[in-house]
Amino acid sequence: MIKPQKNVSLKTYNTLGIDVQAAFFTVIKDLQDLHYARDFCRLQACSWLLIGGGSNLVLTQNFAGLVMVMAMSKLDWTSHTDGLEVCAESGCEWDELVAASVKRGASGLENLSLIPGQVGAAPIQNIGAYGVEVKQCLRWVDVFDFNTGACFKLTAEACELGYRDSIFKRHPHWVVTRVNFQLGHHALTKDNPAQLGYGIIAQTIESMTGEPAVGATVQQIRDAVIHIRQSKLPDPKHIPNVGSFFKNPIVSAKQTAKIQQQWPDLVAYKLDDGRFKLAAGWLIDQLGWRGYSQDGVGVHQLQALVLVATGTAVTGDEVLALAQRIQADVFATFDVVLEIEPRLFNSRGEFWLS
């Protein structure tokens, strides 16, 4: 039976370092703890919030209910003739899973190296980077329904994974408890090629190894991705942030062409359906926001997509105020709506900006 603590600071449990308090606080070590936590919330008639790595949320107020920190972290590996399967509990650190898969020679996750957070957030956000998304390796997800106490399994298809989207966004009472991935069994081959769709990865591999990128190993790709991310993105342990603050907007070919008339250097990637994904960081950068800092919040000097806390007592509302100024500027200039990527929470639970 869990015994929640009272009035606990969440400053060290979110990577923006926002100092708000949880009315009640506990650590989830196994599935039974989730059942106990559910019972507690029903008896107290209070709301709840589950925190993984805290790298994808903005806390704007003291939380009036129970905050849970996920600590379920078992890993189970199974080798098959057609590949390597791993079942990871949701409290595992994502990059530790990627490192372990690469060490075993398995392919599939190497492009997702150094993404902060825990495994449980991977299917919720359908995390992705450098041409790879989690949905490409995901097999199934175990779920705990916090409303009913039921446990069930969802196939990858049933997760309805899209760009930074999933069925879990529409069922916030569903808690991911375990995730299963199917990975390549051996090093990259002609039949299992490296994902080098982003030229910067190939360039970095060739620079680091002095060899053609086409023959890269999973370890070389991981090393290159880590090098790229460390050179472009701030470590939240040193500069508080939640990574990319805005999603890359997807617009029509007509609107893309209209923007390119005035901005011929527009960074845009054509999608299979004919629409284009625009680089949100590029849009923000053109408007002079990169390096901006005022009243304890700012935009990172090397990456315009990352908002940072530069002061010691930054509030969630201050971060959101800056985000909304950037959104308004981008819309006024490009007629493009930037959608906020991290989840937003007030005293009662998650909310969305209109």
Q: Which residues contact 305 (CB under 8 A, 6 or more apart)?
A: 244, 245, 246, 280, 281, 284
DSSP 8-state assignment for residue 158: G
Classify residue 186 by its DSSP letter: S
Distance CA 129, CA 44 (A): 41
Asked whether the beta carbons of 69 and 13 are under 8 A apart, the reply is yes
Which strand ranges, in their side-by-side order, compose the sheet holding 83-89? Answer: 75-80, 83-89, 174-183, 138-145, 151-155
Number of H helices, E strands in the chain: 8, 21
* Residue 251: HSE in the Cβ half-sphere, 13 Å Cα cutoff: 24
**Which residues form the catalytic set?**
164, 244, 341
Q: What share of the chain is helix, strand, coil (3-state, %, to 5)?
A: 30, 30, 40
In whole angstroms, what is the distance from residue 88 CA to residue 50 CA? Answer: 18
Q: Which of 235, 197, 201, 200 is nearest to 220 (CA)?
A: 201
Strand order in the sheet with 297-299: 241-244, 306-309, 297-299, 293-294
